Structure 1
Amino acid sequence: MSLSLSSTTVLGKRKATRYILQISASPQPEPSTSTSTEDLAIYDTAELCSKKARHPCTYSGCTKSYSKACRLAEHIRSHTGERPYVCTTCQKSYLRESHLQAHAKSHLPESERPYVCMKSATCQKRFWTLQHLQVHENTHSGAKSYACSVEGCNELFAKHHQLRSHTCQVHAPPGTKPYICTHPGCAKSFDTNQKLRGHIKTHDDKRYTCTHPKCLPLTNTDPTYYPTWTSLQAHIREIHPPTCMHSSCHGRTFASQHNLRAHQKLHEQQELETILADVEQSEATDLPRKRRRGGEVGRDWKCDKCGKEFKSMKALTTHNNVIHLGHRNHVCPHQHCSSAFGYKHLLERHLAKIHSTRSDQSVTDSSESDGATTTDTDTDCSNNEPAGSAAHLSIDRITGHAYSLRSRMPTSKTIRCPYPNVEDLLLLPPETPLSGSSAHCDHILTRAYDLRRHLRAEHGLAGDKNKVDSWVKSHRGSAQTS
Structure 2
Amino acid sequence: CDKAFSIKIHIESHTRTHTEEKPYQCKLCKKAYLQSSHLTKHMRIHTGEKPYPCSQCEKTFQIGDPYLCSYSGKAFSQNAYLKSHMKIHTKEKPYKCSQCDKVFSMNSHNKSHTRTHTAEKPYQCKLCETAYSQGSHLAKHIIIHTWEKPYKCSQCDKVKPLNANLKRHLRVHSGEKSYQCSHCNYSYRDSGDLGSHMRVHTKEKPYKCCHCDKAFTHSGTLKAHIRTHTR
- Length-normalised TM-score, structure 1: 0.20
Q: Whose RCO is larger (CA < 8 A, sep 6+)?
A: 2
- Length-normalised TM-score, structure 2: 0.35
- Indicate the structure (1 or 2) with the bigger Cα radius of gyration: 1
